[in-house]
Amino acid sequence: MLETAKIIDGKKIAEDIKSELKEEIEKFTKANSSRKPCLAVILVGDDPASHYYVKNKEKACELVGIDSKKTVLAAETSKQDLIKEIQSLNEDENVDGILLQLPLPDALRAETQEIVDTIAIDKDVDGLTTLNLGRVFTNDSKAIYPCTPKGCMELLKRYHVETLGKRALVIGRSTLVGKPISILLNNANATVTMAHSRTQNLEAECAMADIVIAAAGKARFIQGEWLKDGAVVVDVGINAITHIGSEGEERRKLVGDVDFDSAKERAGLITPVPGGVGPMTVAMLLSNTFELYQRHI
Ligand code: NAP
């Protein structure tokens, strides 16, 4: 009988990466430049979750010695005005990376990729321009890996998870998460299956997978009994749910796409939510900013 899964501590790994980066940035800057790396973040609208994420990113930048520059635009901002803002940051020699916080407000959402594509390739810190995704697709050394997929791969690496020849199942096929993770796992020699809302018999797909990456955006959707014994489970999902507290009061909490309680009885390794992939996304954003900065200096 299997023991309860070992928990992948994304928070701790992210802290380790930030400490390593802080040292590297200090050393590199001292030797090569009079200016620090700089990340520009554009936030459109007043979605509280997006404002919270951006604040976290600013704090993380400060911690490792990266300057951050925040531009907040009204939810009604037109596509043209947003693109103008991006173009002015493209031309700013002191900016190394440009992050457009997603999702965009409803009125702009359908045009997200067109807007993202106006970010200069050498400042595409989130790696989401079509041009950069092409580089990811062709395993080009100049590719910048999108932050969340890169964070998932880094967790697997730091927990010594073998990918070569293993069966990996990615649940979700978005441009932001599912598709790039599938490519990165493929580049790492896993045999990858990409599942989506039209996949038939997801349970059977899960039963065969050595590695499961859950990115469907559905709270506690993947059940422990679907998993292969000893599988490695990386839960990308962040879903806010309401539950009833001990005093009968309504409470909000974040859960993943995996039913953690049942999955930890079956998996070998598993990420919690929160404290798994989330902190890694921020750490990878810092790492990508530093990488672009080094290319600019
Ligand atoms: P998304 O754009 O909504 O994509 C969801 C994907 O899941 C789609 O490809 C969809 O399939 C698939 N899906 C939906 N229902 C399914 C089902 N029943 N079975 C199998 N696949 C199903 O979401 P996203 O941007 O990729 O984000 C996914 C999750 O990750 C969300 O919870 C999000 O909050 C979270 N996230 C976390 C981080 C982090 O830092 N931890 C970063 C980004 C996103 P179709 O293509 O067929 O519609």
For residue 136, being part of any structural domain is answered with: no
Over residues 220-237, mean pLDDT: 98
**SS3 of 228, please?**
coil
In short, whether 271's Cβ falls inside 6 Å of ligand 1 is no
**264: pLDDT strictly greater than 60:** yes
Contact 233, 258 (CB under 8 A): yes
The pLDDT assigned to 68 comes to 98
> pLDDT tens digits, residue range 139-148?
999 999 999 9
For residue 51, being part of any structural domain is answered with: yes
Distance 215 CA to ligand 1 centre (A): 4
Q: Are 102 and 201 contained in the same domain?
A: no
The pLDDT assigned to 246 comes to 85
Confidence of residue 13 (pLDDT cuts 50, 70, 90): very high
In short, whether 195's Cβ falls inside 6 Å of ligand 1 is yes
Q: Which residues are catalytic?
A: 57, 101, 126
Distance 28 CA to ligand 1 centre (A): 37
For residue 227, being part of any structural domain is answered with: yes
- Both tokens assigned to 156: 């697997």
Distance 285 CA to ligand 1 centre (A): 20
> pLDDT tens digits, residue range 106-128?
999 999 999 999 999 999 999 99
Residues in contact with 101: Cβ distance below 8 Å, sequence separation at least 6, in sequence order: 41, 42, 43, 44, 50, 53, 54
Residue nearest to atom 18 of ligand 1 (CA): 197
Confidence of residue 181 (pLDDT cuts 50, 70, 90): very high
In short, whether 176's Cβ falls inside 6 Å of ligand 1 is yes
What CATH number did the domain enclosing 170 receive? 3.40.50.720
**3: pLDDT strictly greater than 80:** no
Residue written as token pair 């559905």:
218
The pLDDT assigned to 1 comes to 52
Contact 296, 123 (CB under 8 A): no
Q: Are 44 and 105 contained in the same domain?
A: yes
Find the DSSP H helices in the chain.
Answer: 10-32, 48-64, 79-91, 106-109, 112-116, 130-137, 147-158, 178-187, 202-208, 260-263, 277-296
For residue 130, being part of any structural domain is answered with: no
In short, whether 144's Cβ falls inside 6 Å of ligand 1 is no
Distance 172 CA to ligand 1 centre (A): 5
Phi and psi at residue 70, to the nearest 5°: -105, 135
Over residues 240-258, mean pLDDT: 91
Contact 104, 44 (CB under 8 A): yes
For residue 29, being part of any structural domain is answered with: no
- Both tokens assigned to 232: 């490695």
Q: Are 57 and 165 contained in the same domain?
A: no
For residue 175, being part of any structural domain is answered with: yes
For residue 246, being part of any structural domain is answered with: yes
Residue nearest to atom 40 of ligand 1 (CA): 278
The pLDDT assigned to 2 comes to 56
Q: Are 109 and 176 contained in the same domain?
A: no
**Proportion of the chain above pLDDT 70, given as a percent:** 99
Q: Are 179 and 248 contained in the same domain?
A: yes
Question: Do the strands 167-171 and 97-100 form a parallel or antiparallel pair, or are they unpaired?
Answer: unpaired
**273: pLDDT strictly greater than 60:** yes
Distance 237 CA to ligand 1 centre (A): 7
Q: SS3 string of 145-200?
A: CCHHHHHHHHHHHHCCCCCCCCEEEEECCCCCCHHHHHHHHHHCCCEEEEECCCCC
Contact 119, 90 (CB under 8 A): yes
Residue nearest to atom 3 of ligand 1 (CA): 217
Residue nearest to atom 5 of ligand 1 (CA): 216
Over residues 196-211, mean pLDDT: 98
For residue 223, being part of any structural domain is answered with: yes
> pLDDT tens digits, residue range 57-70?
999 999 999 999 99
What CATH number did the domain enclosing 57 receive? 3.40.50.10860
In short, whether 281's Cβ falls inside 6 Å of ligand 1 is yes
In short, whether 178's Cβ falls inside 6 Å of ligand 1 is yes
Q: Are 109 and 152 contained in the same domain?
A: no
Q: Are 96 and 168 contained in the same domain?
A: no
Please give the tally of structural domains in the chain.
2
Q: Are 263 and 160 contained in the same domain?
A: yes
The pLDDT assigned to 245 comes to 85
**77: pLDDT strictly greater than 60:** yes
Distance 27 CA to ligand 1 centre (A): 39
Residue nearest to atom 31 of ligand 1 (CA): 217
- Show the domain range for 227: 146-278
The pLDDT assigned to 107 comes to 97
State the closest ligand 1 atom to the C-alpha of 218, by its place in the atom list counted from 1: 32
Q: How far is the C-alpha of 92 from the C-alpha of 63, rounded, in Å?
A: 23
In short, whether 174's Cβ falls inside 6 Å of ligand 1 is yes
Q: Is 41 left (phi over 0), alpha (psi -120 to 50) or beta?
A: beta
Over residues 36-41, mean pLDDT: 98
Other Cβ atoms closer than 10 A to 108: 19
Q: Are 114 and 151 contained in the same domain?
A: no
Q: Are 164 and 256 contained in the same domain?
A: yes
The pLDDT assigned to 219 comes to 98
- The DSSP bridge partners found for residue 252 are 242
Write down the pTM of the prediction: 0.96
Q: Are 187 and 245 contained in the same domain?
A: yes
**90: pLDDT strictly greater than 90:** yes
In short, whether 251's Cβ falls inside 6 Å of ligand 1 is no
- In whole numbers, what is the pLDDT of the chain averaged over residues? 96
Q: Are 229 and 268 contained in the same domain?
A: yes
